[in-house]
Amino acid sequence: MSTPRPTSVLITGCSSGMGRSTALALHRLGHHVYATARRPETLAELAAEGLTVLPLDVTDETSMAEAVARVEADHGAVGLLVNNAAYGLHLPVELASPEEVRAQFDTNVFGLVRMTQLVLPGMRRAGRGRIVNISSMGGRFSPPGGAFYHATKHAVEAISDSLRLEVAPFGVEVVVVQPGPTITEFAGTAVETMQTSADPQDPYGSFRAQLADMYAHKAFRRRNGAVPAEAAVKVIVRAATTARPRARYAIGAMARAIMIARRALPDAAFDAVIRSNFPVPSSR
């Protein structure tokens, strides 16, 4: 049973970017949207538009359970869950601390899994529901500097594939959305994690500076193939509301091209493509 017009929508990570815009778009289509964020004060504009706003930290069990319980108290079940909350840690593997890596997986993977676990009993009772997991074209390849962020998106892809088959008999659908570079605040947040260094003894110093420059000034520009946030939101809304959703929706020509290249090319050839488009450390 599909959910082309879910009556209750729970979205994580609505403080900015695609989460905020998706919440507003679904609200304007007539759905009862619960927009959430770690800091509820960031949701004031959405509340003024008539959306229900809730505090929700995907690294906090009580916070997640209370948000789901609120939707279920109002509507019986969550009709649509959009797992959007995420951020990008971008550091060389050697330099990322265990705490940073755990925090990345806590938000991007374990939070998504727990939110899914919490909504599924209600969806099964209702005999319907849809879960939209916001992945990335990065769930299909991994460039230098992006190991841990991309690893979380690889995990989202794998989890979604298993989940889609597990819950289909109960009328629950699972959809993955794979944005390419999108013009949102993501680039700025990613740059903040790069911890650029002026230390001449840092073997990754120049690499991190080049990577930060690429993210800040090149990769997320429309002239370089980045997709406007509005276009990405249209795809997410289609994935969330269409009567017969596909398993995956890639967003942007760059996302489709890179994922096709990753499937078609041998590793050495694809590595050459990545080296021509991303900075790499130098041993000199």
CATH assignment at residue 207: 3.40.50.720
Contact between residue 178 and residue 255 where contact means Cβ atoms under 8 Å apart: yes
pLDDT of 107 over the 80 cut:
yes
> What is the average per-residue pLDDT within 18-35?
96
d(CA 266, CA 217): 30
Tell me the pLDDT tens digit for each residue of 144-178. 999 999 999 999 999 999 999 999 999 999 999 99
Domains: count for the chain:
1
Whether 55 maps to a domain, the answer reads yes
Whether 170 maps to a domain, the answer reads yes
Whether 2 maps to a domain, the answer reads no
pLDDT at 199: 67
Q: How confident is the model at residue 183 (pLDDT cuts 50, 70, 90)?
A: low
Question: Which of these, 43, 41, 1, 7, lies nearest to 26 by C-alpha position?
Answer: 7
pLDDT of 109 over the 60 cut:
yes
Whether 283 maps to a domain, the answer reads no
Mean pLDDT over the full length of the chain: 90
Which of 8, 15, 21, 160 is catalytic? The answer is 15
Give the Å distances, CA to CA, from 103 to 45, 93, 110. Answer: 28, 15, 10
Please tell me the pTM assigned to this model: 0.91
Which of 153, 160, 204, 249 is catalytic? The answer is 153
Q: How confident is the model at residue 1 (pLDDT cuts 50, 70, 90)?
A: very low
Which of 8, 34, 87, 135 is catalytic? The answer is 135
Choose between 190 and 38: higher pLDDT.
38
pLDDT at 2: 47
Contact between residue 34 and residue 54 where contact means Cβ atoms under 8 Å apart: yes
Q: Is position 135 annotated as part of the catalytic site?
A: yes
d(CA 235, CA 242): 10
Whether 3 maps to a domain, the answer reads no
Question: Which of these, 146, 137, 133, 157, lies nearest to 89 by C-alpha position?
Answer: 146
Whether 44 maps to a domain, the answer reads yes
pLDDT of 187 over the 60 cut:
no
Whether 1 maps to a domain, the answer reads no
Q: Is position 218 annotated as part of the catalytic site?
A: no
End-to-end CA distance of the chain: 59
Which of 34, 149, 204, 249 is catalytic? The answer is 149
Percent of the chain whose pLDDT exceeds 70:
88
pLDDT at 186: 60
Q: Is position 153 annotated as part of the catalytic site?
A: yes
Tell me the pLDDT tens digit for each residue of 211-263. 888 887 766 566 556 778 888 899 999 999 999 999 999 988 888 888 999 99
Q: Classify burial at 183, counting beta carbons within 10 Å of its beta carbon; exposed 0-12, middle 13-18, buried 19 or more.
A: middle
Q: How confident is the model at residue 277 (pLDDT cuts 50, 70, 90)?
A: confident
pLDDT of 198 over the 60 cut:
no
Whether 32 maps to a domain, the answer reads yes
| Residue 139 belongs to domain spanning | 8-277
Q: Is position 215 annotated as part of the catalytic site?
A: no
> What is the average per-residue pLDDT within 33-39?
96
User: Crossing angle for the helix pair 111-126 and 61-75, nearest 10 degrees?
Assistant: 20
pLDDT of 134 over the 70 cut:
yes
Q: How many CB atoms sit inside 10 A of residue 170's CB?
A: 16
